[in-house]
């Protein structure tokens, strides 16, 4: 049975596809704001709820702006053959969503990243909203549904690729044939990234 949040999410995505005037005006405002903006409530409530957000104390939502365009490696300073520069045609291992989560986590070191989702983009910028949780808040560590994040093993989970975006970039959405060397990590037991 579809919930109200499902319909909210479908409506939101439909507006994004049509690029309605509301969406265009929203992006104009977002461009003028800072790189990271702490929000009172999520922009996509349906998506945030499906990823674990609750409208209660201890939860924080931050919108972050990251750049688009080719993510090339820096050119080496010393001499190389042109073919050995290793600058173009190299795909970064991290998605922009994972990079956004790491940047937000560095800004708020006392909070832990729960999840994140896309909220918009234009020709130059892409925006994500990151859901953060305060592990030292009494409402959080007394809630049996979320207090798993208070465990010390989840400190720095965004940097270690333990969030949803990190697991996707590490190839952990696939199991079985063709995914033999992705677990426990690409660098473990002599595994080499393909």
pLDDT bracket for residue 189 (50, 70, 90): low
Q: Radius of gyration (Cα) for the chain, nearest Å?
A: 19
**pLDDT in the model for residue 192:** 58
Segment 174-194 shows an average pLDDT of 78
φ, ψ of residue 147 to 5 degrees: the values are -70, 0
For 89-120, how does the pLDDT look when each residue is reduced to its tens digit (9 = 90+)? 777 788 999 999 999 999 999 999 999 999 99
Question: Does 19 have pLDDT greater than 80?
Answer: yes
* Packing angle, helices 21-32 and 4-18, rounded to 10: 80
pLDDT bracket for residue 77 (50, 70, 90): confident
Size (the chain), residues: 194
Question: Which stretch of 44-48, 128-132, 180-184 has the lowest confidence by average pLDDT?
Answer: 180-184
pLDDT bracket for residue 145 (50, 70, 90): very high
Classify 190 in phi/psi space as left (phi over 0), alpha (psi -120 to 50) or beta: left
For the whole model, what pTM was predicted? 0.87
pLDDT bracket for residue 87 (50, 70, 90): confident
For residues 191 and 178, the model is more confident at: 178
List of domains in the chain: 4-153 (3.40.1120.10)
CB 145 within 8 A of CB 139: no
């Amino acid at each position: 049975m579809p919930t109200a949040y499902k319909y909210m999410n479908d409506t939101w995505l439909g507006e994004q596809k049509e690029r309605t005037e509301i969406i265009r005006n929203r992006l104009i405002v977002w461009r003028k704001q800072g790189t990271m903006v702490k929000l009172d409530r999520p922009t996509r409530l349906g998506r945030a709820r499906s990823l674990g957000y609750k409208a209660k104390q201890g939860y924080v939502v931050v919108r972050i702006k990251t750049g688009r365009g080719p993510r090339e490696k820096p050119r080496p300073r010393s001499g190389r053959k042109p073919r050995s520069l290793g600058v173009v045609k190299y795909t970064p291992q991290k998605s922009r969503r994972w990079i956004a989560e790491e940047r937000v986590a560095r800004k708020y070191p006392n909070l832990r990243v729960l999840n994140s989702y896309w909220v918009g983009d234009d020709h130059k910028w892409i925006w994500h909203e990151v859901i953060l949780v305060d592990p030292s808040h009494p409402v959080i560590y007394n809630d049996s549904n979320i207090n798993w994040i208070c465990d010390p093993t989840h400190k720095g989970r965004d940097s270690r690729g333990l969030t949803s975006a990190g697991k996707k970039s590490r190839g952990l959405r696939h199991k079985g044939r063709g995914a033999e060397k992705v677990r426990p990590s690409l660098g473990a037991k002599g595994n080499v990234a393909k």
